[in-house]
């Protein structure tokens, strides 16, 4: 089975490509490299002993996408190609709607023309919005997210539902999750954000390796146990295997038509301060930080109930917080400048 992975050179994408190859899928990666490196795929090939076809292109280019579908006999698509920083999305919302929403529409149009109907979407648990109670469950209605990033994910989920209503052959899975962290246990691939990291753990790791002076923690006055935001952090390899489990689920359920949503998570909220302490323990080193004002778009606490994925996808997050920290440090300490050699 040949799988097109859009955004496959990025953080979650590259780990998913590795997991797909380990499960004997053929993989084609399509990525514009705006926040990723093709070096990640070279390392994936080395780790697995298998080859990856790579095409550089933009998700908003239907001509380029059509060439890929014409060149390769694609059976399914896993769609990661998106801008993903909550804070940045509030500053440049039009870029987020252009890339995340319009780009997905372009991809779905080309898939429809090519009669490819199997689609796995990298969504976000932010689609539950500010109004929903935790833990989030898939039966909740789509909410009103606090950021353009989250809103773009809601819009795409609605596009998928409408697509499935209009196209009775469409088979979609929407995977909702929060904060992937960690790296492959080899330390060969991991998270390598370009510029200043928007996510917590890469910033912590860059402080630890001496690349940055100190960490900024956005707000310590939230209504949580220690005043910092709480999130459902899960190991990126657990998340990657969740995407493979979703593809396997589609393959097992030939009769399925429509769109099904699954939460992927540990089911536990962990605070920012707790993450910092766990990382300090893992590397036996103090992380300097200061507390900055709250960041636009951040909610106090949320995590997902993943029992549906446990039951139907035969998937579970198994790696511990300690392993997430250790694997992050293994990656960062071996690659202080990321994929730059």
126: tokens are 């932010």
Rounded CA gap, 268 and 8, in Å? 28
Q: Which residues, 6+ apart, have CB-to-CB distance to 340 below 8 Å?
A: none
144: tokens are 């009103």
Cis amide prior to 135 (ω within 30 degrees): yes
Burial class (CB in 10 A: 0-12, 13-18, 19+), 270: buried
210: left (phi over 0), alpha (psi -120 to 50) or beta: left
Q: Which residues, 6+ apart, have CB-to-CB distance to 70 below 8 Å?
A: 114
Residue 76 near residue 32, CB atoms below 8 Å: no
89: tokens are 């999305």
Residue 149 annotated among the catalytic residues of the structure: yes
Q: Which of 149, 177, 203, 233 is catalytic?
A: 149
What is the number of other CB atoms lying within 10 angstroms of the CB of residue 28?
Answer: 22
List the one residue out of 324, 271, 335 whose CA is nearest residue 302: 271
Residue 149 host element (H or E): helix 148-166
Would you tell me the crossing angle of helices 200-208 and 272-283 to the nearest 10 degrees? Answer: 30
What radius of gyration, in Å, describes the C-alpha atoms of the chain? Answer: 19
Residue 8 near residue 29, CB atoms below 8 Å: yes
Rounded CA gap, 277 and 140, in Å? 33
List the one residue out of 111, 178, 119 whose CA is nearest residue 149: 178
Active site members: 149
């Amino acid at each position: 089975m040949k799988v097109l992975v859009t955004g496959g050179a990025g953080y979650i994408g590259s780990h998913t490509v590795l997991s797909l190859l380990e499960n004997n899928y053929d993989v084609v990666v399509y990525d514009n490299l705006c926040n990723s490196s093709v070096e990640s795929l070279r390392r994936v090939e080395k780790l697995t002993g298998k080859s990856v076809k790579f095409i550089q292109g933009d998700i908003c280019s239907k001509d380029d996408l059509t060439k890929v579908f014409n060149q390769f006999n694609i059976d399914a698509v896993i769609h990661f190609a998106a801008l993903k920083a909550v804070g940045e999305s509030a500053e440049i919302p039009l870029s987020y709607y252009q890339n995340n929403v319009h780009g997905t529409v372009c991809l779905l149009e080309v898939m429809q023309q090519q009669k490819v109907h199997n689609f796995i979407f990298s969504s976000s648990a932010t689609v539950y919005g500010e109004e929903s109670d935790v833990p989030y469950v898939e039966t909740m209605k789509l909410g009103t997210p606090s950021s353009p990033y989250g809103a773009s994910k809601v819009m795409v989920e609605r596009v998928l539902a409408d697509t499935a209503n209009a196209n009775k052959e469409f088979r979609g899975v929407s995977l909702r999750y929060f904060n992937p962290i960690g790296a492959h246990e080899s330390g060969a691939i991991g998270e390598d954000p370009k510029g200043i990291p928007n996510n917590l753990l890469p910033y912590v790791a860059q402080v630890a390796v001496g690349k940055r002076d100190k960490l900024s923690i956005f707000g310590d006055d939230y209504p949580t146990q220690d005043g910092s935001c709480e999130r459902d952090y899960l190991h990126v390899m657990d998340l990657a295997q969740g995407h493979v489990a979703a593809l396997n689920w589609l393959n097992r359920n030939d009769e399925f038509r429509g769109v099904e949503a699954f939460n992927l998570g540990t089911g536990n909220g962990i605070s920012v301060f707790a993450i910092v302490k766990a990382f300090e323990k893992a590397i036996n080193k103090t992380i300097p930080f200061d507390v900055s004002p709250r960041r636009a778009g951040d909610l106090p606490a949320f995590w997902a109930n993943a029992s549906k994925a446990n039951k139907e996808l035969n998937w579970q997050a198994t790696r511990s917080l300690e392993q997430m920290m250790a694997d992050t440090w293994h990656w960062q300490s071996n690659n202080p400048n990321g994929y730059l050699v």
